[in-house]
Amino acid sequence: MAKALPADRAVMTAKQIRSRVRRGGERFWRHTDFADLPPAAVSQALSRLTKRGELERVRKGLYYRSRPTVLGASRPAPDAVAVHSARGRLHPAGLTAANYLGFTTQNPARPEYASSAAAAPSALAGAHVYTRRPRNRENLSERESAILEVLRDRARTSDLDPEGTCARLLDLLNDRRAFERLAQAATDEPPRVRAVLGAAGEQLGMDEHVLGRLRASLNPLSRYNFGTLSRRLQAADRWQAAR
């Protein structure tokens, strides 16, 4: 049984969750979106927000925050529910990930997702799903998993200029706990993902032990394609960026 939090900490955690949900606008929420907070407090807070009508529970462990429209509160699209409920979980990939993270305003004709599952769910026949992604991503938030997809693509789907792309990436990674989760999940990603992540982490002043584990996972004789990020990440050369 989970240990109960002190009353003052539980109240503070509930306020944090309520604030994130309200700032997040229309979107889906899972417990893993609050991986930095105590699980028991997250469950209680989401339950309370559902009872108050601020969230709708659409599936077990999946909640939806609506937005007001002229016809009333918005409703979650069935295909979106399928994406967020799929076995093995799906998260944005390709141009869909770039749009989700603010690198572009474009949306692909066919939504792009990635999953650790061996096959794409039949309910998403109209989407492009990249399967067999590392299972290390299962405990990441949708945002964190999307970041890994952008790193895999070397930020090629960004419509921002190189300076803007680098600045946006650094802003997304500038959270120590999230960075540590990404570094742990990156152990099963292509080496270039770990190299770019390490270069960004060094520039952001992340924990040396975390950066050391990333560096130790790289072949010292290899060079990695950072794309346009190699010209904007200050530590790119020290992380074996190809020139």
pLDDT of residue 82: 65
**Domain assignment present for 113:** yes
- Angle 208-216/176-185 helices, nearest 10 degrees? 20
**Domain assignment present for 11:** yes
Say if CB 225 and CB 210 are below 8 A apart.
no
Same domain, yes or no: 20 and 122 = no
Domain that holds residue 19: 7-69
Given pLDDT bands bounded at 50, 70 and 90, which one contains residue 1? very low
Number of domains in the chain: 2
Same domain, yes or no: 65 and 85 = no
Q: Does position 95 have pLDDT exceeding 90, yes or no?
A: yes
**Domain assignment present for 2:** no
Same domain, yes or no: 200 and 144 = yes
pLDDT in tens, 191-221: 999 999 999 999 999 999 999 999 999 999 9
Question: What residues contact residue 158 under an 8 Å CB cut-off, 6+ apart?
Answer: 98, 103, 104, 150, 164, 165, 168
pLDDT of residue 142: 85
Q: DSSP labels for 149-186?
A: HHHHTTTTT--S-HHHHHHHHHHHH--HHHHHHHHHHG
28-42, 70-84, 158-172: least confident range? 70-84
Same domain, yes or no: 187 and 101 = yes
Instruction: Look up the pTM and report it.
Output: 0.70
Q: Among 69, 90, 112, which residue terminates a domain?
A: 69
The domain spanning residue 18 has which CATH number? 1.10.10
Same domain, yes or no: 14 and 106 = no
Q: Which residue has the higher pLDDT, 25 or 165?
A: 165
Mean pLDDT for the chain? 88
Question: What residues contact residue 125 under an 8 Å CB cut-off, 6+ apart?
Answer: none
Question: What residues contact residue 236 under an 8 Å CB cut-off, 6+ apart?
Answer: 199, 226, 229, 230
Q: Which residue has the higher pLDDT, 89 or 105?
A: 105
Q: Among 49, 69, 89, which residue terminates a domain?
A: 69
Beta partners for residue 28, in sequence order: 64
